[in-house]
Amino acid sequence: MSQSTATSREPDWSRIIGIGLGSILAIALICQFQNKNLKATNSLTTMSSYLATENATVTMVDPTATTSALAPPPAPAIVTNPTYEAFQPPSDQPRWLLSPCSAEEAVKIQADWSEHLDLPVEITNQLGQTFRLIPPGVYHRGTNEEAMFSLLETVPADESHWKACLASSSPAHEVVLTRPFYMATHETTQQDFQKLMGRNPSWYSTTGPEPHYVQQVSGMDTTRHPVEGVSWNDASDFCQKLNQTDSGKIVGEFSTSEKCKRLSPSYRLPTDAEWELAARAGNASWFWFGDKEAEVTGWFGGSIQGRTWPIRQGESNPLGLYEIHTSVWEWVADCWRVQEYQTYERLPVHDPLAKGSAELPRIVRGGMWPDRRGRSFDRYAYESSFQNFFVGFRVCFEIVNREQ
C-alpha cells in the first residue's frame, strides 16, 4: 500500500500476502488439533508441501567470511537436541548468552563482552539513536506445538493469515548466533526519520494521511513517537542512508578513541533470529519478564487512548531494550515462509537469515498494540511495500574495520 492510497480508516487487508495459503493451513491445523490419533508434527510436515514458498531460501552466514570486527572464531560443534550444559563457547571468549538465564546473568554477560571487545555497552550515533551490545547466544526460537495449537484456538475464524503466521512460529528449535551486534534501544522515531529522510510518513502525526489518526494526537508533540506508516523498503532505505551519511557516525567519549577511529558501524535491519535473541534477553518465557500477559495489559490500546506514545516508556529488558513487547510491529530482514522452522527442527541452526525475491512477504516482530500479539516468538508477515499505522522498525549494526 503506497502512502498516497493509505487514506482509509481501516487497514487494507486485501494487500496482505498469504491469505489464501493461511486459510488452508488454519483449517488443516484445527482439524489436526481435534484429531487425537494424529500428531501435530506430522500435520505441519504434510502441510508444508502445499504451503512451501519455492523462491525463499535460508542462508547460513559464514562467520569466517565477514569483515565484522566483532566476529569470534567459528562456533563450536553442538550436539543434536542438546542440553545447554553441553554447550561450550571458545575458551578465549566470555560466556555466551545461553537461555534460560537470569536477568542478572544477562547483564553480567553483556558487561563481560563489552570488556572482552573493548567496546562500550551503549553507543550513540550522530542522529541521536542509542544502541546496546548484544552478546552471542544460544536459545530456542519459536514456541512448542502444544502452545501453538492452544493459541490457534483463540484466533478468530476470519483471521486466516494470523493463523498461518502463528503456525509459522512452531516448532521451537535451537538457534546459535555466533557474532555480537548492537541493537537500537528503541524503535526509530518520527524525528529520526524526518531528519534523515526528509519526510514523516506516520499516520499519528500532524502531517498524517488520515484525519482520524491525526486527531488522536492533536496538540501533542509526536517527534519521539515511533515512526510508522513505513514499508520494509522504507526501513531498508533508512539503514542504507545511515551508512552513507554522517548521521550514522558514532559520537560520545568512545568516538575519540583510537579503536573507534579504525571502526565504523554497518547499519541494517536485524534478522528474525537476532531480534528474538535480543528480545528474550536470556529468558525462555513468552515475555522477557515471564509468561503473564496481564503484566503488560497497561500497554494495550484501551489504556493509551488508541494511539502511539513516546519511546522509552516503562522498563527496559535486561539488555537495555525498550518497547520489545509493546508499541508497533517492527520489520526484520527475513522473508516469511510458513514452514521455515520445520527445516531446523532436528538440528541447531547457526546465524539463520531467510532470503528470497522482492515479491515475498517480510516478517514483522514484537508489537502488542493495537492487538495482543507481543510475545517473544510472535511473527506476522506483510509484503515489502505494505504501510500502515501499526508497523515501524528498529535498527541494528555490526562494527566493521574501515581498513578492510
Intra-chain end-to-end CA distance of the chain, in Å: 40
Q: Which residues contact 372 (CB under 8 A, 6 or more apart)?
A: 293, 300
Tell me the average pLDDT across 256-262.
Answer: 86
Model confidence over 158-180: pLDDT tens digits? 888 888 888 888 888 888 999 99
Tell me the average pLDDT across 282-288.
Answer: 74
Give the pTM: 0.79
Residues 377 and 85 sit within 8 Å (Cβ to Cβ):
no
71-80, 109-118, 281-290, 323-332: which has the minimum mean pLDDT?
71-80
- Of 129 and 159, more confident: 129
DSSP class of 290? B
37-51, 106-120, 302-316, 384-398: which has the minimum mean pLDDT?
37-51
DSSP letter string, 8-71 = SSS--GGG-TTHHHHHHHHHHHHHHHH-TTS-HHHHHHHHHHHH--TT-EEEE--GGG--BTT-
The share of the chain scoring above pLDDT 70, in percent, equals: 71
Side chain identity, residue 279? A
Tell me the average pLDDT across 228-234.
Answer: 96
- Of 334 and 82, more confident: 334
Write down the pLDDT at residue 167.
83
Write down the pLDDT at residue 325.
79
| The CATH number fitting domain 3-8+66-74+95-135+180-337+357-401, selected from 3.90.1580.10, 3.30.70.1450, 3.30.70.1060, 3.30.1550.10 | 3.90.1580.10
- Of 235 and 167, more confident: 235
Q: What ranges in 173-248 are assigned the alpha helix state H?
A: 190-197, 211-216, 232-244
- 308 vs 391: CA distance, rounded Å: 11
Locate 97 and state its grid cell: 548468552
- Of 226 and 154, more confident: 226
CB atoms within 10 A of CB 107: 16
33 pLDDT exceeds 50?
no
26-35, 62-71, 80-89, 299-308: which has the minimum mean pLDDT?
62-71
Rg (CA), the chain: 21
Write down the pLDDT at residue 328.
87
- 58 vs 107: CA distance, rounded Å: 31
- Of 147 and 111, more confident: 111
Write down the pLDDT at residue 17.
43
What mean pLDDT is reported for the chain?
Answer: 77
Residue 229 falls in which region: left (phi positive, over 0), alpha (psi -120 to 50) or beta: left
In order of 61, 244, 334, 354, 380, the CA distances from 357 in angstroms are 18, 25, 11, 10, 18
